[in-house]
Amino acid sequence: MSKRILTVDDSASMRMLLKASLTKQGFAIEAAEDGEHGLARMHELNPDLLITDINMPKMDGFELIEAVRQLPQFRGTPILVLSTEFSDEKKSRARSAGATGWITKPFDPDKLGAAIRRVCP
Amino acid sequence: MSDDLDDIQAIFFEECAEGLATAEEGLSAMADGDASADVIAGVFRAVHSIKGGAGAFGHEALQSFSHRFENVLDEVRGGKIPASSDVCRTMLLAFDVLSDHVAAAQGQADIPEDAAILAELEKLLDDKGAAASSAAQAPAEAAPADDGGTDEFGFSPVTVDLDDLDSDPFGFEPVTVAIEDLDAPAPTWTVRFAPSREAMANGGEPLLVIRELERLGAEISAVETDTLPPLRDLDPEGAYFAWTVSVPASVEKTVIEECFDFVAPDSVVEIAQEAPAPAAPAADDGPAPDGPEAIADTDAPAPEAEAEAESDAEAAKDEPEAEIKPKAVEKAAPAEAKIAEVVQNIRVDVSKLDMLLNLVGELVIRNSILSDRLSSADQQRVELPELARLTREIQDNVMSLRAQPIRQAFSRVPRMLRELCVSTSKDVALEMSGETTEVDKSVIEKIGEPLTHMIRNAVDHGIESAEERVAKGKPAQGMVHLSAEQKGARIFLRVADDGRGIDRERVFAKAVEKGIISADATLSDDEIDNLICAPGFSTAETISSISGRGVGMDVVRSNVEALGGRVEISSVPGKGTTFTMVLPLTLAILDGMVVRLAGQRYVVPLANVVETVQPESDQVRPVANSSEVIDLRGTYVPVKRLSDLFNLHPGARDNPQDCVVIIVETDAGHVGLMVDTIEDRREVVIKSLDQNLYPIRGLGGATILGDGSIALILDIDALVASPSSSNKFALKGIAA
């Protein structure tokens, strides 16, 4: 069964781009448009991997990751951050929030696929 | 994919437009002194998203510019750069250039010249202090490093340059990577990987790294298990082993490094190249020598790191573990509650909405046909009123789908005004109100151009120069007020300036000169003001002292009238001029009264109807100038015969007592409209008229009635207003 991935990004084009490029690589992609929506979708979908943006309205990526990690069923779920930010400060904040890895936008679809396989057995 | 990509890119540009609107609104609010965290964060996010998408779609100039703009915004957000009025002004200018970059990315314009504004942005960063400026410059330098090849995920390497690679662009903190480049050709890589104790937290899985290395052809040469504690001390979620693997020489160093992208901080990764020394048995892909020996010289830092990691892990384990659990339980509940609150949006192609709207229109028509054909007994049955109610509800809902705040049409105005201020060297402030008024999308799309004209008029010719204003005792800064409000089924869009007003003498003289009116015409002030909208009034020759422009207000008027609206002008000399566009709320549906005249049926918009009167004898009386009035409980209301207005003699009834007078509300006050009979009251679906019917003033559209016949819809204001003023233009215009 293909891996189910929830992508959270407030930009519709980014969501579509992720969906288009990852579906081709055999992943099943679901999407949410901000942290709050993402958290709700986590409950609903119980995905194998969460990929989230950082800068989003309502609930940002850091808050989403923290909230997800607080839930026992998601303690071991890999979480990748996909953001245009790349400062070490942001990265370590994401790490302490509970992120597994960080990918900087813009992304190369193949390399993103490889990165996913790196955290998602 | 390329088609997909085009589609997605089209959506990206829509987002850009939305983002720009948000950013502009936020920046304007900041310029007005509202620098709240939410506002700044909104602007930052908008620019940030544009940058992200620009990178994904390969718009490098846009990406690079938005990146630098974002740096400044980030500092403003962090409070390091104050949101002073100077800073806001610079950011608004940067915003304008950003808009141009977006247009350029869409292929609608050339890539703008941005060096000057970039320098200003850099200056803001520099001014804020040396430490911060160096942080800001680093990314700026990264952008030109566009030679490709080294960037990991991106199409253009804002994020990564060669030096960055060592410190692992994706990981959180630099892991220890020891690289020894030896001159010897193609030796095998020896990689030692000692994950930190908490490597399995955060969903990490060190084993996956080993697996990935194995896929590259690596073989495990040693596993260090001596760090494994006795069972009672063992943390089931801790990582204890360390691996040494040998990777074929053919694998690129960077590829090996990538495998370690997501390893936890404090993990030890050592990548070394084995010289093919005679003593080394592992020169080929055979089993490597014993681990400890092979890594002997790079082993030193490892125990330290491990020890640190261990103590950290130890400290972290006991307490947080205990703390996290109750929190998890607490947090779970609000998180579930949030599910219900999430508002979900779906993007729908407008053409699908249009199709739906059309279908609903047809449904409404069929509904009335059905009820027309049924006997009145059948009509009373429960299902029919219910069906009619449902249809109307569907209709209302579909209409609301298309309704959008008029803010979208307003969004271009601030920038335009800023540019006009520069080009005319005037200082004009803009005030907007009623931006949230909702209007049908089709209306919003079409008012952009007329609005632009009206604003230009106001700034170009309405507002005086600062000196002139001061001399007149006005504030030096001019003011343009843009407002929207809904009244009944109409939207009133006003552009009011506090300038010099219309110079009526000059307008009159010019209209005579142009042959629009005769020199002996007697016109009211309003009629003179309206002359500037008369076809042929404004030509290439500009009269600078009035709000007229080469392009012509007549274009504005014809555009607005094509929408079923009209333009009104009111002006007070020395105080200012107000242009009002009166537009229909929707272009689709109208509540109307069906009337009959000379065998034809017409629809009077119900919004205009005040009351209807069946005149008694003598209630309608002639007055001078062959006009008539109706005595309405003691007040006299002018009466217009629809048959006169449309010149439908013979055929219409002549005797007022055989007719019905509909009292309609117009801009000129109440007017009685005389028709033969009233037939019905119903909602009609507005169908637009063919272009060659536009010149007939007083027609707002047409509709199909329940029996399938066609009726013309009246535009009452235009109808009642036209004979006095516009007929004069028309008649004289034709004669000239």
Residue B312 has pLDDT above 80, yes or no: no
Give me the domain span that covers residue A77.
4-119
Could you report the per-residue pLDDT of B440-468, keeping only the tens digit for each?
877 887 788 888 888 888 888 888 888 88
Q: Which residues of A51-75 are buried (b: 16+ CB within 10 A; e: fewer)?
A: bbbbbbebbbbbbbbbbbbbbeebb
Q: Please answer yes or no on whether B44 and A118 come within 8 Å at the CB atom.
A: no
User: In the prediction, which pLDDT does B587 show?
Assistant: 61
Q: What pLDDT is attached to residue A64?
A: 93
Q: Do A121 and B48 touch (CB under 8 A)?
A: no
Say yes or no for a CB contact (<8 Å) between A104 and B49. no
A70 contacts in chain B (CB < 8 Å): 324, 327-328, 331-332
- Residue B194: both structure tokens together: 């000692």
Q: Is A16 on the interface with B (CB under 8 A)?
A: yes
Q: How far apart are CA B388 and CA B390, in angstroms?
A: 5
Residues 94-113 of A with CB under 8 A from B: 94-95, 98-108, 111-112
Mutate one of A23, A105, A110, A116 to test the B interface: name it (highest B CB count within 10 A): A105
Closest by alpha carbon to B56, among A100, A82, A120? A82
B82-96, B309-323, B339-353, B670-684: the lowest-pLDDT one: B309-323
pLDDT tens-digit profile of B108-159? 888 888 888 888 888 888 876 544 444 444 444 444 433 333 333 333 333 3
Residue B166 has pLDDT above 80, yes or no: no
| Choice among B133-137, B478-482, B575-579 with the minimum mean pLDDT | B133-137
B75: alpha, beta or left, given left = phi > 0 and alpha = psi -120 to 50? Answer: alpha
Provide the percentage of residues in chain B whose pLDDT is more than 90: 5
pLDDT reading at A41 higher than 50: yes
B168 pLDDT more than 50: no
Residue A62: pLDDT band (50, 70, 90) is very high
Size of interface A-B (CB pairs under 8 A): 174
The answer to whether residue A2 neighbours chain B at the CB level (below 8 Å) is no
Best of B158, B168, B170, B327 to disrupt the A interface by mutation (most A CBs within 10 Å)? Answer: B170
For testing contact with chain A, the best of B77, B202, B210 (most A CBs within 10 A) = B202
Contact across the interface for B56 and A105, Cβ inside 8 Å? yes
d(CA B440, CA B489): 11
pLDDT of residue B91: 87
Q: Is residue B721 predicted with pLDDT exceeding 80? A: no
Q: How many domains is chain A built from?
A: 1
Closest residue, chain A, to B74 (C-alpha): A85
Amino acid occupying residue B49: S
In angstroms, the CA B37 to CA B40 distance is 5
Question: In this complex, do B15 and A56 lie within 8 Å of one another by their Cβ atoms?
Answer: no
> Which residues from A are below 8 Å from B73, CB to CB?
none
Per-residue pLDDT, A50: 94
Please say whether the beta carbons of B395 and B440 come within 8 A. no
Question: In this predicted model, which residue has the larger pLDDT, A65 or B189?
Answer: A65
Secondary structure (3-state) at B357: helix
Q: What percent of chain A lies above the pLDDT cut of 90?
A: 27
CATH of residue A81: 3.40.50.2300
Mean pLDDT of chain A: 87
Instruction: Quick: pLDDT tens for B244-255.
Output: 888 888 888 878
A59 has pLDDT over 50: yes
**B506: pLDDT confidence band, cut at 50, 70 and 90?**
confident
**B355, B358, B362, B368: CA torsion to nearest 10:** 140
Q: Taking CB atoms and an 8 Å cutoff, what residues of chain B touch A14?
A: 49, 52-53, 56
Do the beta carbons of residue B602 and residue B595 sit within 8 Å?
yes
Q: In this complex, do A11 and B49 lie within 8 Å of one another by their Cβ atoms?
A: yes
Q: Which of A42-56, B258-272, B284-298, B621-635 is the most confident on average?
A: A42-56
**Interchain contact, B331 vs A16, CB within 8 Å:** no
Contacts of B341 in chain A (CB under 8 A): 36
* Better-scored residue on pLDDT, B242 or B554: B242
- CB atoms A79 and B203 under 8 Å: yes
Transcribe B226-263 into DSSP letters.
Answer: TTPPPGGG--TT----EEEEEE-TTS-HHHHHHHTTTP
> Residue B238's closest CA among B289, B186, B178, B197?
B197
Q: Residue B342: list chain A partners with CB under 8 A.
A: 36-37, 40
- The strand order across the sheet containing B176-180 reads B176-180, B268-273, B189-194, B242-247, B219-224
Contact B45 A10 (CB under 8 A): yes
Please give the residue of chain B at the shortest CA–CA distance from A65: B202
Enumerate long-range contacts of B112-120, CB under 8 Å, 24 or more apart: B114/B65, B117/B90, B117/B93, B118/B65, B118/B68, B120/B90, B120/B93, B120/B94
pLDDT of residue B170: 46
What is the residue-averaged pLDDT of chain B? 74
> A26 in helix, strand or coil?
coil
CB B43 within 8 A of CB B27: yes
pLDDT tens-digit readout, B386-411: 888 888 888 778 877 878 888 878 87
**Smallest Cβ distance to A13: which of B12, B42, B261?**
B12
Chain A residues 69-88 with a CB less than 8 Å from chain B? 69-72, 75-80, 83-84, 86, 88
Taking CA atoms, what residue in A is nearest to B52? A84
pLDDT over 90 at B373, yes or no: no
**Would you state the pLDDT for residue B362?**
78
Q: Which residues of B touch A111 (CB under 8 A)?
A: 152-153
Nearest chain B residue to A73, by CA: B328
pLDDT score, position B726: 38
pLDDT band at B544 (very low <50, low <70, confident <90, very high): very low
Predicted confidence (pLDDT) at residue B604 exceeds the cutoff of 70: yes
Q: Best interface-test mutation with B: which of A7, A11, A117 has the largest number of B CBs within 10 A?
A: A11
> Chain A contacts of B166, Cβ < 8 Å?
none
Alpha carbons B161 and B697: distance in angstroms, whole number: 67
Segment A29-38, tens digit of pLDDT: 999 988 999 9
Structure tokens at B614: 């069946």
B648 φ, ψ to 5°? -105, 45
Contact criterion met (CB below 8 Å) for B485 and B575:
no
The answer to whether B335 contacts A17, with C-beta atoms less than 8 Å apart, is no
SS3 content of chain A, % helix, strand, coil (to 5): 45, 20, 35
- Would the CB atoms of B156 and A76 count as touching at under 8 Å? no
Q: A82 by DSSP, 3-state: which?
A: strand
Are the Cβ atoms of A91 and B173 closer than 8 angstroms? yes
Model pLDDT, residue B160 = 34
Q: Do B212 and A118 touch (CB under 8 A)?
A: yes
- Which of A11, A36, A71 faces B53 most closely, judged by CB atoms? A11
pLDDT at B735 over 60: no
The span from the CA of B168 to the CA of B626, in Å, is 91
The residue-averaged pLDDT of B329-334 equals 42
Helix axes A61-70, B301-341, angle to 10 degrees: 90
B55 to chain A, closest Cα gap in Å: 5
Stretch B280-299: mean pLDDT, rounded? 40
Question: What is the pLDDT, as a whole number, of residue A1?
Answer: 64
Is B541 a residue whose pLDDT tops 50?
no
- CB within 8 Å of B567: residues ≥ 6 apart: B450, B533, B553, B556, B557, B560, B561, B579, B580, B581, B582
